[in-house]
A = this chain, B = another copy of it.
Amino acid sequence: MKNTFLNRLTPKEPKFYPLLRNLASISLQAAEQLVACIEANNQEGAISIHQKIKDLEHSGDQLTNEIFEKLNTTFITPFDREDINSLANKLDDVTDEIYSCSKRILFYKPKQLPQAALDLANMIKDATKWILEAVKELDILKKSPTKIKKYCKELHEIENRADEVYQVFVTNLFAKETDAIEIIKLKEIMHVLETTTDETDHVGKIIKTIIVKYA
């Protein structure tokens, strides 16, 4: 009776699962590079790491398009196709946003990145790990909806914590920094890092929509 996601998807189209897992894996790799980029804390190291993130972003874009093309040439019910496409787009948005972070870190050249930037990057890395775990569970959604719901909850909590880190950072920044241009730079870098956790939470919301529909 319940959960027709497996029934509709697996027998007809098992090949979408590995593609979605690859997309989630690209986000995780990009997040790991983002942490390395902030830890490097020198321009040359950052440039070569940024290039790796750019390549990952490009791979994500191509893979998302491959999923789109495969969806158009394969028979599955229109309903499922739409959901897979939405999920693929949202997974790719995470990698795009990580790429935005590394661009800003590289180009704005702030005097020094705060510890809070590394904290946020590590939260992004944790979030991409939960996303990968959740995507791995999609094909057994029927057997274990509990696990996947737990992962979505983790994503929501990371987003809440990241928001707190951002608020505390900006409050201190306004209290201590007197150089307005430095404030603009750091505030935007930190804001894009925080926005990346919003994107990971959006993936959780899309997965919850899939649960509501099919579990």
Per the bound structure, the CA–CA distance linking A113 and B88 in Å amounts to 38
Residues B180 and A145 in contact, CB atoms below 8 Å apart: no
Q: Is the CB of B170 within 8 A of A180?
A: no
Whether A71 sits at the interface, judged by CB under 8 Å, is yes
Prevailing SS type, chain A contact patch: helix
A215 on the interface (CB 8 Å rule)? Answer: yes
Judge if A41 is at the interface, Cβ distance under 8 Å.
no
Q: Tell yes or no: A140 within 8 A of B by CB.
A: no
Q: Among A11-19, A25-33, A123-131, A205-213, which stretch is in contact with chain B? A: A205-213
Chain B residue with Cβ nearest A175? B109
**CB-CB contacts below 8 Å: A110-161 with B:** 145
Report the minimum CB–CB distance from A73 to chain B (whole Å).
9
- Which chain B residues lie closer than 8 Å to A183 at the CB level? 181, 184
Q: Is the beta-carbon distance between A214 and B108 smaller than 8 angstroms? A: no
Shortest Cβ gap from A71 to chain B (Å): 5
Check if A145 sits within 8 Å of B72, measured CB to CB.
yes
Residues of B contacting A72 with CB < 8 Å?
145, 211-212, 215
CB distance from A35 to the nearest CB of B (A): 21
B170 touches A212 (CB 8 A): no
Does A52 sit within 8 A of B, measured CB to CB? no
Instruction: Please tell me if A48 contacts chain B, counting CB pairs below 8 Å.
Output: no
Given A180-B180, A180-B181, A183-B184, do A170 and B107 touch, yes or no (CB 8 Å)?
A: yes
Chain A positions within 8 Å of B, measured between CB atoms, are: 68, 71-72, 78, 81-82, 85-86, 89, 103, 107-109, 145, 167, 170-171, 174, 178, 180-181, 183-185, 187, 205, 208-209, 211-215
Report, nearest first, the 3 A-B pairs whose CB atoms are least far apart. Answer: A180-B180, A107-B171, A78-B213
